[in-house]
């Protein structure tokens, strides 16, 4: 993957995780880092890079808590809000 296409590839992969995050919101559940990697097909380093790009200056979100079985857990609503705008998937945008 070249440097020029890396952000586009990450966006494409993260789009695949958006339905899972949306489902977690409807179930009132947080989203685990492990499930993000599984749904997007990214490895841990690629997921970290995608989150860093999506959140920009705000920095990567802090986990809401750490589960012994699922690892880091993120707030689904804030995660979906940022990722949909970054990916350009406006159908998932949550308005305040």
pLDDT tens-place string over residues 38-75: 999 999 999 999 999 999 888 888 889 888 887 899 99
Which residues have CB under 8 Å from 41's CB, separation 6+? 13, 16
Name the pTM for this structure.
Answer: 0.85
67/94 Cα distance (integer angstroms): 26
Q: Closest Cα to residue 70, out of 21, 20, 12, 30?
A: 30
Tell me the sheet residues that pair with 36: none
For the segment 7-30, what is each residue's pLDDT rounded down to a tens digit? 899 999 999 999 999 999 999 999
Q: Is the pLDDT of residue 76 over 90?
A: yes
Q: Which residues of 57-66 are buried (b: 16+ CB within 10 A; e: fewer)?
A: eeeeeeeeee
């Amino acid at each position: 993957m070249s440097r020029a296409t890396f952000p586009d590839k990450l966006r494409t992969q993260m789009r695949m995780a958006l339905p899972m995050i949306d489902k977690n919101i409807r179930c009132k559940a947080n989203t685990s880092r492990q499930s993000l990697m599984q749904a997007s097909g990214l490895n841990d380093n690629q997921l970290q890079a995608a989150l860093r790009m999506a959140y920009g200056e705000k920095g990567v979100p802090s986990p809401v808590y750490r589960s012994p079985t699922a690892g880091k857990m993120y707030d689904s609503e804030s995660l979906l809000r940022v990722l949909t705008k970054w990916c350009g998937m406006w159908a998932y945008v949550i308005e305040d």
